Amino acid sequence: MSPEELDRIAGASGAEIPADLGERLGNAVLAAAAAEDGRSARRTRFGYAAGAVTAVALASLAIVLSLPHAPKDTFDDPLLAYAELEKTFSYISSKVDRGLDIAAVAEPAIEKTTGAINNTINKKSK
């Protein structure tokens, strides 16, 4: 069968398309992507594969030796943990920053009020 013939067949109606074809193919592509993602996630950004293996082994050992009833580490890979820690500090910083912004806006009003109060106290004491 030539490609032209197959192209004609592709455009013809007839075969009923399975309802879940799109979903099935989407899952297959996702599985392939996930497998690839899983393999690349195991390789560190710095090509420190041996260290990552050691790190995981040490983490496992450390978990066994850790406090009883301690939860399990969310991450096996210290690089992923590092990225998460970075995001956490960023989040905390953003909240601190927001508080400081609000305080900064209020500062002139506070100073004005304080000034007015001090003036009143000074006048009364005279």
Partner 1 sequence: MKKIIAIAAAMLLTLTAFAQKDGQKIYNKYSDAKGVSAVYMSPSMFRLMGSLPEMTVGEGEVNLTPIISSLSGLYIIDSENPDINADIKRDVEHFVKSGKYEMLMEVKEDGEVVHMFTTGTEEIVTGFVLLTYEAESCTFICLDGQMPREQLEIMISDSQKKKEVSN
Partner 2 sequence: MMDGRKFIADYMPLREALYRIAYHILESEADAEDALQDLYVKLWNSRDALDGIGNPKGYCIVLLKNICIDRLRRKENGRSESLPETLASGDDSSAGIEGKETLSRVLRAMDGLSASQREVLRMKAVEGLSYEEMAERTGMNNLTLRVLLSQARKKIRKEL
The residue ranges that bind partner 1 (CB under 8 A) are 46, 48, 51, 55, 58-59, 62-63, 66, 69-75, 78-79, 81-82, 84-86, 88-100, 102-104
Among 18, 47, 68, 71, binds partner 2 (CB under 8 A): 18
Q: Is 117 a binder of partner 2 (CB under 8 A)?
A: no
Angstrom distance (rounded) from CA 82 to CA 75: 10
Angstrom distance (rounded) from CA 98 to CA 66: 37
Asked if residue 77 lies in contact with residue 59, where contact means CB atoms within 8 angstroms, the answer is no
Q: Which partner in partner 2, partner 1, none is near 68 (CB below 5 to 8 A by kind)? A: none
DSSP 43-59: S-TT--HHHHHHHHHHH
Six-digit token string for 112:
């004005």
**Chain residues in the site for partner 2 (CB under 8 A):** 1, 3, 6-7, 9-12, 14-15, 17-18, 21-22, 24-39, 41-42, 74-76, 80, 83-84, 87-88, 91
